[in-house]
């Protein structure tokens, strides 16, 4: 017997680039035209940079001179005004500040994004479009099913956030087999459920198994975690699990200056 489950990837996805939030808000904004490390276009964000402790414009003596325009309004009175053929700067003059900034738009303005919100160290994007899933069960003979009951003696583990903000549960099951089901709560009263997990263990014999389980980005502290064999919820075991977070990895600006997709240590 063969079971086949297929599904298409999301038709649309957010591209690598710069995204930001406003102070005091969780709405994510993007679509800002940005220079790569090796670019110096005055039409894009990032042409004025802090390098080696000083503010610098690459080839600034040429670029700024070409972009700076002076227009006389009255030759006799010697009055004039200046303009720059550039974007993403603030001009401070006697009449106040003149903003020349286009900071993009909200990600949720796209019809395919239902919402895009920032939560601590992660961005949660909810698609407004669904996916189709196709399942096929194929058998050439009448199958015989041999069933092994699920078992679990105990477990231990910790909740981690790595330097790329991947959330996962690092856990060891003792004397386990079959399918193990788990629930994650914020407290021992179980008044607030944070999530559920489903862990299949391939071995038909009882064994100690260590695995990583991907988690959502809503876990921001020590959690009360409960597991039980699939066939026996009365054998549930619960423990508090510590929350360990690594600092965010600093961005490497010494490469070729392009944005790339990165893959975390755990799937999901």
For residue 236, the enclosing domain spans 154-245
Q: What is the pTM of this model?
A: 0.54
Asked whether residue 190 is assigned to any structural domain, the reply reads yes
CA distances in angstroms from 64 to 24, 56, 195, 233, 246, listed in the order given: 35, 12, 54, 71, 42
CA distances in angstroms from 34 to 13, 18, 103, 248, 260, listed in the order given: 19, 8, 10, 22, 14
Asked whether residue 200 is assigned to any structural domain, the reply reads yes
Asked whether residue 185 is assigned to any structural domain, the reply reads yes
Report the domain count for the chain.
1
Asked whether residue 194 is assigned to any structural domain, the reply reads yes
How many residues does the structure list for the chain?
268
Asked whether residue 213 is assigned to any structural domain, the reply reads yes
Under 8 Å CB-to-CB from 183, ≥6 apart: which residues?
A: 190, 193, 195, 196, 197, 225, 226
One digit per residue, the tens of pLDDT, for the chain of length 268 reads: 677 777 777 777 788 888 888 887 888 998 888 888 778 888 888 888 888 888 888 777 778 888 888 888 888 877 887 788 888 887 776 666 767 777 888 988 888 888 888 887 788 888 887 777 788 878 777 766 656 688 999 999 999 998 888 889 999 999 998 889 999 999 999 888 888 898 988 777 888 999 998 888 777 789 999 999 988 889 999 999 999 988 887 765 555 556 666 665 554 4
Asked whether residue 252 is assigned to any structural domain, the reply reads no
Asked whether residue 128 is assigned to any structural domain, the reply reads no
d(CA 6, CA 133): 6
Say which CATH number the domain at 163 has. 2.60.40.3980
Asked whether residue 214 is assigned to any structural domain, the reply reads yes
């Amino acid at each position: 017997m063969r079971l086949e489950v297929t599904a298409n990837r999301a038709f649309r996805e957010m591209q690598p680039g710069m995204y930001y939030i406003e102070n005091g808000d969780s709405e994510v904004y993007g679509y800002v035209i940005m220079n790569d490390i090796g670019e110096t276009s005055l039409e894009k964000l990032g042409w004025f940079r802090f390098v080696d402790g000083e503010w610098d414009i690459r080839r600034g003596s040429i670029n700024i001179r070409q972009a700076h325009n002076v227009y006389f309004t009255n030759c006799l009175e010697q009055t004039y005004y200046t303009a720059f053929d550039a974007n993403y700067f603030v001009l401070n003059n006697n009449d106040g500040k003149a903003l020349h900034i286009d900071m993009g738009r909200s990600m949720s303005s796209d019809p395919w994004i239902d919402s895009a919100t920032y939560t601590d160290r992660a961005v949660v994007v909810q698609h407004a479009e669904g996916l189709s899933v196709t399942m096929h069960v194929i058998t050439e003979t009448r199958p015989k099913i041999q069933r092994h009951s699920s078992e679990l003696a105990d477990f231990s583990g910790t909740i981690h956030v790595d330097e790329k903000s991947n959330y996962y549960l690092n856990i060891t099951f003792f004397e386990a087999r079959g399918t193990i089901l788990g629930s994650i709560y914020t407290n021992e009263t179980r008044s607030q459920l944070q999530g559920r997990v489903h862990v299949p263990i391939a071995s038909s014999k009882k064994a100690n198994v260590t695995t990583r389980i991907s988690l959502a980005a809503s876990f921001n502290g020590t959690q009360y975690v409960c597991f039980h064999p699939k066939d026996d919820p009365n054998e549930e075991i619960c423990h508090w699990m510590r929350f360990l977070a690594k600092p965010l990895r600093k961005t490497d600006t010494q490469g070729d200056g392009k944005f790339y997709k990165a893959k975390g240590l755990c799937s999901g």
